[in-house]
Structure 1
Amino acid sequence: MKTIRLLVSLLCLLPVLALGQNKKVKITGQFKKITGDFDKLYLFYKYDGEQFLDSSALKNGKYSFEFDLAQPVQVRIIVFKAIPGRPGAGISNPDNTLSIFLEPGNIKLESEGKFSNVKVSGSKSHAEFEKLNALASNYQAKSMDLMRKSQDKNLSESDKKAIQEEVKALQTQLKEDVYGRYIQDNPTSPMLFYALQRYAGSSREEMMKVLEMYKKLPEEQRDSREGIAFAKRLQGQLEIMIGSIAPDFTQATPDGEMVSLSSTRGKYVLLDFWASWCGPCRKENPHVVQAFNNYKDKGFTVFGVSLDRESAKANWIKAIADDGLGGWTNVSDLKYWSNEAALKYGVTGIPQNYLIDPEGKIIAKNLRGEALEKELEKLIGKN
């Protein structure tokens, strides 16, 4: 059970891809020259607010999975040894993990020596993914070399700034030469929306440019379920950018009282998306509690939104008590990943948060650990 919980927390890190009509995907795998003692595999992904988790035994170096799928989706497969008293042993080792794109059909995986050393056959989407990665790798390697160089303590500030500008130029070149060109040359590729997302960047201007590119795609791509979901996510990102007014919503407290985000106007508020089942969220909660206790008398509060299920309402209430979150407003519609507020804010992984000013404007995102208190110190002074 602990292993399952660990894998579910890892699911928080995977991107969401919308799918259409389901068809069968069958995976047959072989692990040659195994360098570890393994006997179990887990495969997982998430889409449309739902999570998928399946397992397979590893026998004589062979394994298989079979399930329904529609359009390409990125999945993660982990191989490990099931050891009593050591749940999830080896899960954190990247050599024991695959991250691949799949689509309906027969997929063949062959690993040798290390599980991550894999050859994928039968997946056009993964072949395109590997092609994109190969094109991007040279730019990424140069960027990493420059970033390492910038850590030299003997460099002057002007030299560091020059390196930063060089890295920025490389990233722009990567976007245009790799993702931009790929989008132009491959309008029907299964990796089209992945490339568009990579091209989009984070500024309003960049996202608006991608929205115009989307409008010029073939109708079949635009009107696909994946295309519609991409446009919705992009539009949602535009609406919740730093500087935008935080979209309002109303959900229920554990006691059933309906409370709106707008009720916090006049204060700095951390809109915090989390869940009782999310390990990283629970580890982050003490930092949020500390910030709340230090700044609650200076016009700061928290508005917590849980992505728990209706069947797990008791777990949500218990987590609020166990983690000391009762000092602020906690709400949920108990729809799990389909939480209406989470969809409105484009939440695809948790913990995720937004810092909102007294006028209701988003001024920062994803402040973790000490970063939240440092930002509050700048805004409303030391405790």
Structure 2
Amino acid sequence: MKYLFNITFILCICLISCKKERKESNGFVLHGNIKGKIDDYIYLEYGGKLDSSLVKSNTFLFNGNVAYPTKATILPASPTSGKDMTVGSFMIENSSIKIYTKYNLGNHNGKLLYSLDIDSLIGSNSNTNKVGFDKYIQKIINSDKSVNQKELLLITKIEDFIRTNPTSELSGDYVLDLSNFYGLFNSNQLSELLNMMDKNYQNEETLSKISLLINQRRVLDIGNAAPPFELPSLDNRLVTKEQFFGKYLLIEIWASWCAPCRQANPALLKTYNSYKNRNFEILGISLDKDLKQWQQAIKQDSINWLHVIDTAKTTQLTFKYPTIPFNILVDKEGKIIARNVTPEKLSEILNRLLQTN
């Protein structure tokens, strides 16, 4: 009997251990439905992994495991295929998830464009939280509140998000995106937000970019004097920031080969033409190396403000901008009053400033 008891006891231990092991190894199951004609593989990227699934009868299936809620991207083709594509992003976690997508193969600028968009997703609480948080951010960004009021609301919201979601890698993304795209947060605010994060759950590249941004903001915080420069113009005259004292100045850093820069030019030109006779100027600082391409782009886009060229990229060391297009708006004394403003936001700021001056 003692022998049987030991066997039974060992079996029980094994069953408990196996049950526990199965529970810990439970991962996610992503059930997909896709609209559109496709009989090929689609791809899923998450946590540094890449998986594929063959679409059959407009359905697909992915299985996997994540240590914590993770950003995932669903793609209509392999990321190494070189194909032009649009992709869908969402938060994946260890649960049963249903995702409804739409596939399309079209033409964009003379090239085939493979598109895979997400219509809806069920079963990921972290994704539901993300969607809700994104809506809140856009509501604040699009509100009529002042920049200071927006910053206070967003900092409070992000601090709360970091505290209540300690393992979410979205913390770093939100801080970086709001800083880059909307020019929010000074160097001290960014440092405090970075210190709140659990670095074990953040993407190393994101953390590195936030650290670089903090160094940049120490130079470009609102109220600081704009960094000095001395660069040659189209007619080979040396131009400095002191020449613009007494006017509001937008320093726009761009290049002829930068598609987003060129796309913003028509709207920026419209704003310039509205305010150029009201103590406002734009100075374009180009990073081009080819003088002819630089001159041709200025002519093609009809951007008739003053232009200088920085072939050695000296401004990258002084302005510490992460990407282009990048701009700063300075006041009549050369002090920074805004960063990375869109043409629409620039019009709003100038309208307010020039009414009070």
Please, what TM-score do these two structures have when normalized by structure 1?
0.51
Q: In the alignment, what sits opposite 1:270?
A: 250
Q: In the alignment, what sits opposite 2:160?
A: 173
Structure number with higher relative contact order (C-alpha < 8 Å, ≥ 6 residues apart): 1
Q: 1:235 to 1:136 in 2, by over 3 A?
A: farther
| Contact persistence 1:251–1:260 (CA under 8 A) | yes
1:202 partner amino acid = F
- 1:340 aligned onto 2:317: no
1:140 to 103, 119, 130: 130
1:205 partner amino acid = N
1:1-383 alignment runs, 5 A limit: 30-33=52-55, 43=80, 55=82, 87-91=110-114, 93-95=115-117, 137=127, 139-144=129-134, 169-178=156-165, 181-182=166-167, 202-209=185-192, 231-308=211-288, 310=289, 312-326=290-304, 328-335=305-312, 339-381=313-355
Q: 1:365 to 1:279 in 2, by over 3 A?
A: same
Deviation at 1:302, TM superposition (A): 0.6
Q: 1:167 to 1:136 in 2, by over 3 A?
A: farther
Deviation at 1:265, TM superposition (A): 1.8
Larger Rg: 2
- What is the root-mean-square deviation in Å for CA atoms of aligned residues? 5.0
In structure 2, what is the Cα distance between the partners aligned to 1:149 and 1:247?
A: 33
In structure 2, what is the Cα distance between the partners aligned to 1:344 and 1:140?
A: 36
In structure 2, what is the Cα distance between the partners aligned to 1:147 and 1:165?
A: 12
Structure 1 unaligned spans of 5+: 1-25, 44-53, 58-78, 97-113, 118-133, 151-156, 158-163, 184-188, 219-223
2:351 partner amino acid = E
Deviates more, 1:205-214 or 1:371-380: 205-214
Deviation at 1:141, TM superposition (A): 3.8
Please, what TM-score do these two structures have when normalized by structure 2?
0.54
Q: 1:237 to 1:147 in 2, by over 3 A?
A: closer
1:340 partner amino acid = T
Deviation at 1:317, TM superposition (A): 0.5
Q: How many residues align?
A: 259
Deviation at 1:258, TM superposition (A): 2.9
Identity %: 22
Deviates more, 1:367-376 or 1:26-35: 26-35
The 3-state SS of whatever aligns with 2:298 is helix
